[in-house]
Amino acid sequence: MPAPRAARTPRRAALAAVACLLLLGAWRADEPQFVHFKPDDPLWVDSDMLVDASSVKAQELSQYYDFLENTFALKGDQRDVRAMNVNTLDEVPDSSWFKNRITQRPIDDTDLVRGPNSVQALHAPGWTIVAGKNTGLQPGFRAVISGASDKQLYQVEFDPPGYPGLATGAEMVGTLLYHALGYHVVENYIVYVDPAHITIDPKASYRDRDGRRKPFTPTTLEHILWRAARSPDGTYRALASRFAPGKPAGQFRYYGTRHDDPNDIYPHEHRRELRAARVFAAWVNHDDSRANNTLDMLEGDGGQSAVRHYMFDFGSIMGSGTTGPDTARSGQSYLLDAPTAWRVLWTIGIWAPSWARRHMAPYHPSVGPFTADGFEPEEWKAEYPNAAFLNMRADDAFWGARRVAAFTDGQLKLLAEQGRYSDPAATAQVAQALIGRRDLIARAWLTKVTPLVSPALEEGRLRFANAAVDAGVTQPPTSYDVQWVRFDNDSGTHTAVGSALTVTAPEAPLPVELAEERYVTARVHATHPEYRHWKTPVSFYFRRDGDRWTPVGLIR
């Protein structure tokens, strides 16, 4: 069980000091000089909302500057170090950034399709517009449900003409999927808007392209709906995004920390959930993964406020380009790819990159070009470089791929249905793409490290799992070698006990002479004809509490 929250503050201070040492190059996180476990290890809750952050101010990041600085400069710390916010089991604790869901506990269908939403369906007989929508490419506005007593604010966005369901379906599927993966996301609902039931608040306004505030009029609404897909019955399919609780604090960058947030101690490029977000982005083709598609909210008041971090805006994932289907370049190349540009220029346009020469398969207009055909997970790229993505290591990718592989075919088909596409063929395309790309991700990244997980020591036997084998991407290894070690937690010394045991199944007996020890370690590696690097051992650490052994450490 995690220690009480109050006990976490000194622990976080120590972790902050360790993070500073890492940045100064004092020691490498992936080559620990001293292993030591505290009584409350492993930590499953990072209490990173304890220190008052009332001084946080909204930081509105320029999307143009974000593009330029990440395209023309390597941002953040690019050294090859282990993620700094993992616990002793090499997992990410729950925090203001992330909450463990899939892989940590079973997710039933009800929880999966509900995601972050507080109600199953949003009942909105009419809308009262209170402001224009000043960001993003999708046409829309900000409104409250007419007659609702809570005056809850929503952002209402529409699909582009000719592509019903393209952006709204992508947004809905992305919201539920990222929520299941563990990220904080806002509530989203698919609704159908009848123009006859829209009213405009007399005080409503919007900003034009020059930033000037103007009154929101019926003509303004007409211009918005002119850019939206209209249903045959005269209504407009839309996505209603409920504003998150708290005070908007802008966005977060994928590198560095917020200088005004005392709880933000780990450089973002060294947070595992941000590094491994590259795996998830590749899965759903979230090529618009950048600072401007994140959200920070300041929660609380009365001298005790803290920032919660959200993944935000999934309207351009899968095959959606928001205002139309994605192009062939999406996920294949940066917007500005210097080597490609120079080669095209050098050959006077005769040469073209492979993605430009590849025939694009037919696709449903409500989905866009989203398939598993030609998908190469390790080659996938966002619109422009992302510091956290560039820092992703094999262990980060493995962590992410385990979560992708945890989704069953049935769950992915159910998620595709939540896009509420009018044509079953669109639903089928989404489901097939998610399933196919999941399998390719598992094959690419579950095998990159020795894939041993889920250690348990019960009734005198060590048991563990092989994530790559369980995902069906390879055959079981020829054998496993288990070396038992006596571990002294005070001095950090390791003493091998006996010779290594060679077993063909993922289990081995605990030597009798270790049965009464406080701590023991099992170093395990696998022998596989295709993956010689599986000879690199994984160390499982266990602590004995009475007659029970608790896994407390995992080092790859």
pLDDT the model gives residue 25 = 38
pLDDT the model gives residue 346 = 65
- Residue ranges and CATH numbers for the domains of the chain are 45-445 (no CATH), 452-555 (2.60.40)
pLDDT the model gives residue 183 = 98
Number of other residues whose CB lies within 10 A of the CB of residue 162: 10
Q: Please report, in angstroms and rounded to a whole number, the separation of the first and last CA atoms in the chain.
A: 24
pLDDT the model gives residue 303 = 82
pLDDT the model gives residue 20 = 44
Q: Is the pLDDT of residue 125 over 50?
A: yes
Q: Please provide the average confidence, as pLDDT, over all residues in the chain.
A: 91
For range 215-230, the mean pLDDT: 96
Number of other residues whose CB lies within 10 A of the CB of residue 1: 6
Specify the DSSP class assigned to residue 3.
Answer: P
Provide the H-helix boundaries in 423-487: 424-445, 467-470
Number of other residues whose CB lies within 10 A of the CB of residue 398: 23
Q: Is the pLDDT of residue 115 over 90?
A: yes
pLDDT the model gives residue 302 = 72
pLDDT the model gives residue 347 = 65
Q: Which of 180, 140, 113 is nearest to 419 (CA)?
A: 113
Rounded to 5 degrees, what angle do the CA atoms 460, 452, 96 make?
105
With bands split at pLDDT 50, 70 and 90, how would you rate the model's confidence at 486?
very high
pLDDT the model gives residue 133 = 87
pLDDT the model gives residue 255 = 97
Which pair of structure tokens corresponds to residue 350? 């005769």
With bands split at pLDDT 50, 70 and 90, how would you rate the model's confidence at 138?
confident
Q: Return the percentage of the chain with pLDDT > 90, whole number.
A: 80
Q: What is the DSSP string of 81-97?
A: ---TT--TTS-PPB-SS
For range 253-260, the mean pLDDT: 96
Q: Is the pLDDT of residue 483 over 90?
A: yes
Per-residue three-class SS string for 10-79:
HHHHHHHHHHHHHHCCCCCCCCCCCCCCCCCCCCCECCCCCCCCCCCCCECCCHHHHHHHHHHCCCCCCC
The answer to whether the beta carbons of residues 157 and 315 sit under 8 Å apart is yes
pLDDT the model gives residue 250 = 95
Q: Return the percentage of the chain with pLDDT > 70, whole number.
A: 90
Q: Which residue has the tokens 């406080």?
A: 518
Q: How far apart are CA 37 and CA 60, in angstroms?
A: 41
Specify the DSSP class assigned to residue 503.
Answer: E
Q: Which of 317, 342, 339 is nearest to 330 (CA)?
A: 317
Where is pLDDT greater, at 365 or 329?
365
pLDDT the model gives residue 156 = 97
Q: What is the pLDDT of residues 46-92, one digit of tens each?
A: 999 999 999 999 988 888 888 889 988 889 999 999 999 999 999 99
With bands split at pLDDT 50, 70 and 90, how would you rate the model's confidence at 343?
low
Q: How far apart are CA 405 and CA 511, in angstroms?
A: 34
Q: Is the pLDDT of residue 249 over 70?
A: yes
pLDDT the model gives residue 350 = 63
* Residues in a beta bridge with 131: 142, 205
Q: What is the pLDDT of residues 313-341, one digit of tens each?
A: 999 999 999 899 998 888 888 887 767 66
Which pair of structure tokens corresponds to residue 146? 């007419």
Write out the H or E segment, with its range, that includes residue 178. Answer: helix 166-181
Where is pLDDT greater, at 104 or 237?
237
For range 249-259, the mean pLDDT: 96
339 SS3 class: helix
Q: Is the pLDDT of residue 230 over 60?
A: yes
Q: Rounded to 5, what percent of the chain is helix, strand, coil?
A: 30, 20, 50
pLDDT the model gives residue 341 = 61
pTM score:
0.91
Q: Is the pLDDT of residue 429 over 50?
A: yes
pLDDT the model gives residue 11 = 47
